Amino acid sequence: MTGVGGVPTTGVSAVVLNATVPAPALKGHLQVYPLGAKPAVATSNVNWRPGRTQANAVTVAVGTGGKIGLMVDVGKADVALDVVGWYGDAPTPPATITTRRPRPGSWTPAPPVAAVRSPARRSAPWSSPATAGYRQPG
């Protein structure tokens, strides 16, 4: 997630996203987790019913390479991730509107931007048609 949607490439400990699943065909849920970490058992960030668009705010630590992973439990689902902001982790000068440099534990809002608009599916490349599974957006 770092380097995407207005998030800096370094100095970021977590991102805040709006995760949306638009009009899925089947019931299911989405987990968002730090890449390189195992998704938590029996948790979800977005739950949906067939044909109903569902969204939720998600705060997730960035993982390996500053990335996050997505996991859809069953069925098919497109996933849209909009960056809301991020938390800093490296000691830098205080954030300002003009520099947008994070400081330890600081919150920095991001300009409205769509970070990811891709299908999520199980056991297939990220660019494949939507089915349940793990995903690793850039």
The answer to whether residue 1 sits within a structural domain is no
**Each residue's pLDDT tens digit, 16-48:** 999 999 989 899 999 999 999 888 777 899 999
Rounded-to-integer distance, Cα 26 and Cα 115, Å: 24
pLDDT at 110: 77
- Tell whether 106 is covered by a domain: yes
75 within domain boundaries: yes
Whether the model clears a pTM of 0.75, i.e. scores above it, the answer is no
Tell me if 36 is assigned to some domain.
yes
Q: Which residue has the higher pLDDT, 97 or 87?
A: 87
The answer to whether residue 3 is domain-embedded is: no
| Amino acid, single-letter form, for residue 50 | P
Quick one: three-class SS letters along 59-126? EEECCHHHCEEEEECCCCEEEEEEEEEEEECCCCCCCCCCCCCCCCCCEEEEEEEEEEEEEECCCCCC
Query: What's the number of domains the chain is made of?
Result: 1
Domain membership of residue 65 (yes or no) is: yes
Residue 4 lies in a domain: no
Higher confidence at residue 106 or residue 33?
33
Does 43 reside within a domain? yes
Domain housing 102: 12-135
Which of the residue ranges 37-46, 93-102, 116-125 would you say has the lowest mean pLDDT?
116-125
